Amino acid sequence: MKSILITVALLVAMVAGIRSEYFLLRYTIFAERVIENHESYDEEDWKQTIEKYGKYREEYQEVAADMSEEDRDKVDSLNYKLNALIIRNKTKKVTDAVGSAVNEAVGTVKELLK
């Protein structure tokens, strides 16, 4: 009986390790793809990226405890880079909207002054 429990415990540990390694592989591919291609992303690409990123963040909470410190550091580094790109994209949208509104207002003032 004791050997069965030990075997089950080892199997559970192996599965947890495999799951965290599989997560790291998938997340690394996802993050590196975003980092490499973000400049060509349109609104829909960003929407899908942010949705996937949220799902990866949830999954990371489930597997982080089974990861080595080195692997967690790698995920953290990729998270920082992705967060920076997401913030940059959102900031650009706001800046573009404000710029457009200012240009429209300037155009209106010029028309009124004619």
- Domain residue limits at 6: 2-113
What's the pTM? Answer: 0.70
Better pLDDT: 91 or 104: 91
Contact 26, 62 (CB under 8 A): no
Q: Which two tokens stand for residue 74?
A: 């790698």
Q: Where are the alpha helices (DSSP H) in the chain?
A: 2-37, 43-63, 69-113
Which of 44, 34, 40 is CA-nearest to residue 86? 34
Query: 53: which residues sit within 8 A by CB, 6+ positions away?
Result: 30, 34, 82, 86
Give me the amino acid identity at 108: T
Indicate the number of domains in the chain.
1
52-83 pLDDT tens trace = 999 999 999 999 998 999 999 999 999 999 99
Q: Which two tokens stand for residue 51?
A: 């949705």
Share above pLDDT 70 across residues of the chain, in percent, rounded to a whole number = 65
